[in-house]
Amino acid sequence: MNRCVTPAISVDVQGDDRWMSQHNQHIADTKEKEPDVLWIGDSIIAHLKQRPVWNDLFEPLHSLNFGLSGDTTQNVLWRIQNGALDNIKPKVVVLHVGTNNFGDPPEHISDGIVAVVDYIRERHPDTYIVVVELLPRGQHPNPLRERNSAVNELLRQKLIGRARVQTVRCDKGLVGADGTISHHFMPDYLHLSDIGYRQSFEPLHDLLQQLLTEEEEEKELTLSD
């Protein structure tokens, strides 16, 4: 059995019900906001909103951030099946999830990510889905970094040729020639600093601008027919 494709609520280890409270806030946001770009996933997505680059580059694109720290593929799958995709019609969904699926093999994790993509497509047939490949982690080469790399390779194979779905690498310059990651880019060797986000995600900003422009042009063409 592959638990990565089975929707699941995050375990409330600390006992403050924080995860569910944040999910409920996200549902409330869907009733009040009309995002062009929906970001969903784990702490890589969640922390982006706390960085200046969010206000500089992504907030102006009418973005809504549904990142939750610690999320696994099964957690995101549960959230999107329980309200996170309701009431909104984003033109683009940006997804990053899978690095927290500890103990799961790359094949299972990649299937979990594909399951998320499949459900987003089911709910929003015309939405463009951008899957951010899993970032490297750890100062030095390690098994989890190798696992993430294997997940990314499988994702490229499984999603290739799908209409309005694209995988994107956002690890440019993070790993040095000697295989190490600088604390300037990843202070804890997992989460990006502001300079790390800027270096890694600026190309994603360019892509989002392109997709939104194309979406608007397609809409204008349809209206003129």
Specify the amino acid at residue 106: P
User: Which of helix, strand or coil describes residue 15?
Assistant: coil
In the annotation, is 124 catalytic? Answer: no
Which of the following is catalytic: 56, 86, 126, 188? 188
Report whether 16 contacts 192 (CB < 8 A). no
> Hey, what are 81's tokens?
């099946």
Q: Given the residues 23, 47, 108, 191, select the one marked as catalytic.
A: 191
Under 8 Å between Cβ of 29 and 86: no
- The order of strands in the sheet holding 92-96 is 63-67, 37-41, 92-96, 128-132, 165-168
Q: Is 193 a catalytic residue?
A: no
- Burial label for 17, CB within 10 Å (0-12, 13-18, 19+), is exposed
Which residue, 69, 78, 65, 83, is CA-closest to 19? 69
Tokens matching residue 67: 């990142």
Straight-line distance from the first to the last Cα atom of the chain, in angstroms, rounded to the nearest whole number: 49
Strand partners, 131: 95, 167
Element (H, E) at 22: helix 18-32
**Is 191 annotated as catalytic?**
yes
Q: Which of 10, 26, 43, 111 is catalytic?
A: 43
Residues with catalytic annotation?
Answer: 43, 188, 191
